[in-house]
Structure 1
Amino acid sequence: MLALLAAMAVAMVTTAVAQTPTIDEPVYVGTAVVYLDQHSLRYNPEHPPLGKLLIATGVAFAGVHLDPAFAGDQTQLGRQVLYGSGVDPGRLMLLARLPMIVLTLLFGLVVFAFARDVAGTAGGMVALALYAFSPDIIAHGSLATLDVPAAGFVLTSVWLVWRARRRPGRYLPLVGLALGAALATKMSTLAAVPVVLALVVLSVWPGSQRVRRVLAAVGAVAVLAVAVVWASYLVVDPRLRWDPPPGLPVVPGLRALPFPEPYLDGMRLQFGFENQTWGGFLFGRQYSGSLWYYLPAALLVKTPLGLLALSAAGAVAMVAVPRLRAAAPYVLVPAAVLLAAAMTGARDLGVRYAVFVPMFAAVAAAAVVALRRRWSHVAAVVLVVFAAVSSLRTFPYYLPYANEAFGGPANTHRYLHDSNVDWGQDLGRLADRLRQRYAGEPIWLVYKGSGVPSHYGIDAADPLAVPADQVRGLLVVSDSALARADDHLRALTGSSTPVDEVGYSITIYRR
């Protein structure tokens, strides 16, 4: 177990050190600095504070201070903190990412414990191995973002409610705390609330058939969850000073929810995002709006084949085998409901919105070992090794991972875009490549990300700002920008020769 977690830690730390800031990270890091420095909730209100407070535990060691007179938006805030505060952005990003790495490793212990409860120690080891080698979990667990923490807290709440079947007095308060932590990290976890509360009823009812006691258990979990949300805001600002952002959409009924006003206004912002029309890219097709099947299709590309096979077999075993059937509502239903909720979203921007799937899938896979058939044990070992080898082959480029059926990470950009392949993470690697192989050549850059190219020594011009016949030399294009390219950029790349690639996310052309 420790060896698996150590291998995962090495993969995540190596990734965290090598990658420049992704698109979302500077906003969260900048907001964490404001939490520490000014105890203000004014930035990034669309997400609750807990995840950024966790980031702040690392940022606190960087000694970053923000000018109290700074008045920019949250994007400008992130850029100012990273590139204008006098602190090395690489060191700052590593400090911000380390708390998330530690948390991701702790969620690995939850996966092991949950699977061990369902299928014994061997099942726990299978689940932990699949979790530890999951490219998506490694990729997003090594970033200062909110997706893995939110998913991990949901998984933890479900595991605890599973344990509450035998000792409700011990575990139900912990269920409330874990569910509250999920809600205080990301609002998309609201979809988990009815599922977890229904599982509380399922866990408590056999031992206490009095409706009053069951309702009391559900109420206690709900109250604790709400209390955690309130506490996350009060930790930032005990006086809860709040000025609502302008232009909030009207959403009837929110005032009836027992959450702080900034949380409710954050929900309004999220509803506003969902009412916008976003662009997507799937299997080489650029489109406007969203596709209901986007996440299942993207997960098919991004999930190791060994995990896909084992989790599917484990799900069948949980439904078909009587002694495993009790675990099915706790493992399969939460993942299915959360995935269904995520599929209704307007933003087809990556499997990070469904990063809970490989977590629950790893637990489901453990059921194969519980079949106690020799062939099932052999199959489990073979498929775990297959998944591990697939993951190791993509090291250290986990964000653009694709499984072997889709040609591996070198081909991910043909099927997907944004945080599935190119989230701005390779700007530093690009700078190194240009210095090593193309020193002195003119550079034209279309970069999609939050990094500042000049900080890394990249002196580049914008090829979209001049006529095509003036673009001569190296044309460097982020693959996510190419996926959403207009006619001008497509004409430029179509009349250029690809000569190199960086991190499976940036293509270098010669013109």
Structure 2
Amino acid sequence: MSLVTIQRPAVVPLPTVQVSAPRRWLFVLVAAVLLTQMAIAMITTAVRQTPTVDEPVYIGAAVVQLEQHSLRYNPEHPPLGKLIMATGLAFADVRFDPDFRGDQTEFGRHVLYESGNDPGALLLAARLPMIVLTLLFGLVVLLFATDVSNRSGGLVALALYGFSPDLIAHGSLATLDVAAAGFVLTSAWLSWRARTDPALYLPFAGLALGAALATKTNTLAAVPVVLALVAWQAGYRAAVGVLLAATTVVWISYVSVDSSAAFPQAYLDGIHLQLGLENRVWGGYLFGTHYEGSRWYYLPAALLVKTPLGALLLWAAGAAAMIGRPAAAYVLAPTAVLLAVAMTGSRDLGVRYAIFVPMFLAVAAAVVAHRRYAAIAVALVAASSLWTFPYYLPYSNEVFGGPSKTHLHLHDSNVDWGQDLGRLAERLKRYPGERTWLVYKGAGVPEHHGIHASDPREAPRDEVKGLLVVSNTAIAKADDLLRALVDTSTPIDVVGHSITIFRRP
């Protein structure tokens, strides 16, 4: 009987490119160029945008923390992020009425628009420290990714971070999302480094974790992940030490503002306020449908829309390649836990609630930097990011039509957060003498910018003639009255991809 030998087909590996680590001087030069372009993009954005919905509240709270050492405004968030903003406001000679009575929204408007201050100057003063902090987190991404791969991987990760439209958009605002996520990332990176030198790095990992907790309470979800990693590598005593260091940072952030602050009661009160917000019913908007409440898949869907295609490719490939490696516990586990918790939230208002995803997954992408497609994907990300300049907030990728179509899929801080009021004032100069009707979603004051308009919802429909100007978020959430006005008007212009100008005969 003859024997037949059956040969298995050869397994063809995925295309790879042997990428040698760049020389140190070239590594530093490329990193500096990437961070410089990000800085230019963020500063340009910060200068041109009027206040978004949340910024006056944070700026007002920062002013009171700085000038009156009081925690009475914005108690739902711990004070550290606002203290960072105050480092810029300290040079702005802010004027306000120390006896002002009103809620935090009213006080923010009072500081920006009613006290003789220059709103643009105050906004920039508060935004610049957050821009610097965002750039520093870029260095963390670079070093973290270099640690888990090599210098080439570090540069790929930094490129994804530096060209991310969401990180540019929110990193240039006086808000708390990027700061909180960046401190969590820093804690995870220092915990990774502590595997080789726990005595050196674990105390700093605890301080970074505390900084995250002292910025936003939603970072509490990261605590069990970081402590579990520390306990796994260095034992439970080390984990307790990290927790104590983190708690100390939170305590210091409160007493540095008000030495009589009752800690931890003030922090617990903030958590209680946040839970109250979560118990409210919020309106969402996804793929053209407005709904009440929340949808568990909202954040993954929104990330799919607002992430450059090249980044999505490298995120997926990097995450798959990292599974099974020790670094996965420090990169993928925090991302998964934080995203899972964020997906249970009741506020479907923007990818800013998952802004940690482009940070951590940029690090994951570093492990596939040697693949042939990596350079092409990074180039596509850069091209897409530069294409949307300077309109980063309303960015969406090419599959979903780009920034001009984002309002058809998403709303609120994904596209229209009130940032284009100043641009609207300039655009209306093209229509001199026309009656203007305005429905604006934002925290700016139209009259300050020379916009004198009436609310069309407060007038008989047949009197609403001329220019009808509507924020795209207001269109997405329009009631029957506003919907009827929009449907019987002709769109003639768009401002910043966030405000539509109609003409009514």
Note whether the superposition's TM-score is higher than 0.5. yes
Partner of 1:134: 164
Amino acid at match of 1:353: Y
Partner of 1:152: 182
Q: TM-score scaled by structure 1?
A: 0.92
Partner of 1:353: 353
**2:55 equivalent among 11, 20, 25:** 25
**1:403 equivalent among 397, 402, 418:** 397
Rounded Cα–Cα distance in structure 2 between residues aligned with 1:154 and 1:476 = 40
Moved more, 6-15 or 64-73: 64-73
Residue correspondence of structure 1 range 80-479 to structure 2 within 5 A: 80-204=110-234, 214-240=235-261, 260-319=264-323, 325-369=325-369, 372=370, 376=371, 378-435=372-429, 437-479=430-472
> What secondary structure, in the 3-state scheme, does the structure 2 residue paired with 1:63 have?
coil
Q: Is the 8 A contact 1:37 1:65 kept in 2?
A: no
Partner of 1:487: 480
Q: Deviation digits for residues 13-33 of structure 1, max 9, x if unmatched?
A: 000000000000000000011
Residue 36 (structure 1) aligned with residue 40 (structure 2): no
Q: Is the 8 A contact 2:95 2:116 kept in 1?
A: no
Q: Deviation digits for residues 305-344 of structure 1, max 9, x if unmatched?
A: 1110001001111126xxxx11111111100100000000
Structure 1 residue 163: Cα displacement: 0.3
Structure 1 residue 215: Cα displacement: 1.7
> What secondary structure, in the 3-state scheme, does the structure 1 residue paired with 2:346 have?
coil
Amino acid at match of 2:291: Y
Rounded Cα–Cα distance in structure 1 between residues aligned with 2:209 and 2:168 = 23
Q: Deviation digits for residues 270-299 of structure 1, max 9, x if unmatched?
A: 111111111100000000000000000000
Structure 1 residue 65: Cα displacement: 3.0
Amino acid at match of 2:37: A
Structure 1 residue 467: Cα displacement: 1.4
**2:83 equivalent among 53, 73, 95:** 53
Amino acid at match of 1:177: L
Amino acid at match of 2:209: L
Indicate the structure with greater helix content: 1
Q: Is the 8 A contact 2:95 2:117 kept in 1?
A: no
Partner of 2:96: 66
Rounded Cα–Cα distance in structure 2 between residues aligned with 1:171 and 1:56 = 28
Q: TM-score scaled by structure 2?
A: 0.93
Q: Deviation digits for residues 179-218 of structure 1, max 9, x if unmatched?
A: 00000000000000000001112332xxxxxxxxx12101
> What secondary structure, in the 3-state scheme, does the structure 1 residue paired with 2:75 have?
coil
Q: Is the 8 A contact 1:37 1:66 kept in 2?
A: no
Amino acid at match of 2:353: Y
Amino acid at match of 2:334: P
Rounded Cα–Cα distance in structure 2 between residues aligned with 1:39 and 1:487 = 46
Amino acid at match of 1:238: S
**1:11 equivalent among 17, 26, 41:** 41
Amino acid at match of 2:358: P
Q: Deviation digits for residues 92-148 of structure 1, max 9, x if unmatched?
A: 100100000000000000000000001100000000000000000000000000000
Q: Is the 8 A contact 1:34 1:66 kept in 2?
A: no
Amino acid at match of 2:290: Q
Rounded Cα–Cα distance in structure 1 between residues aligned with 2:433 and 2:127 = 34
Rounded Cα–Cα distance in structure 2 between residues aligned with 1:314 and 1:442 = 54
Rounded Cα–Cα distance in structure 2 between residues aligned with 1:384 and 1:392 = 12
Amino acid at match of 1:8: M
What is the Cα-based RMSD across aligned positions, in Å?
0.8
Structure 1 residue 68: Cα displacement: 1.9
Structure 1 residue 53: Cα displacement: 0.3
Rounded Cα–Cα distance in structure 2 between residues aligned with 1:477 and 1:31 = 29
Amino acid at match of 1:113: L
Rounded Cα–Cα distance in structure 2 between residues aligned with 1:273 and 1:31 = 19
Structure 1 residue 468: Cα displacement: 1.0
Q: Is the 8 A contact 1:173 1:221 kept in 2?
A: yes
Amino acid at match of 1:356: F
Q: Is the 8 A contact 1:498 1:509 kept in 2?
A: yes
Amino acid at match of 1:327: A
**Overall identity of the aligned pairs, in %:** 69
Q: Deviation digits for residues 407-466 of structure 1, max 9, x if unmatched?
A: 00000000000000000000000000001x112111000000000000000010000001
Amino acid at match of 1:54: I
Rounded Cα–Cα distance in structure 1 between residues aligned with 2:205 and 2:168 = 25
> What secondary structure, in the 3-state scheme, does the structure 1 residue paired with 2:91 have?
helix
Structure 1 residue 232: Cα displacement: 0.3
Partner of 1:207: none
Rounded Cα–Cα distance in structure 2 between residues aligned with 1:85 and 1:58 = 18
Rounded Cα–Cα distance in structure 2 between residues aligned with 1:94 and 1:269 = 29
Amino acid at match of 1:71: R
> What secondary structure, in the 3-state scheme, does the structure 2 residue paired with 1:438 have?
coil
Structure 1: 4+ residue segments shifted above 4 A: none
Q: Which structure: larger Rg?
A: 2
Amino acid at match of 1:287: Y
Q: Is the 8 A contact 1:183 1:229 kept in 2?
A: yes
Q: Deviation digits for residues 131-172 of structure 1, max 9, x if unmatched?
A: 000000000000000000000000000000000000000000
> What secondary structure, in the 3-state scheme, does the structure 2 residue paired with 1:510 have?
strand
Rounded Cα–Cα distance in structure 2 between residues aligned with 1:328 and 1:21 = 38
> What secondary structure, in the 3-state scheme, does the structure 1 residue paired with 2:71 have?
coil
Rounded Cα–Cα distance in structure 2 between residues aligned with 1:65 and 1:453 = 21
**1:504 equivalent among 477, 489, 497:** 497
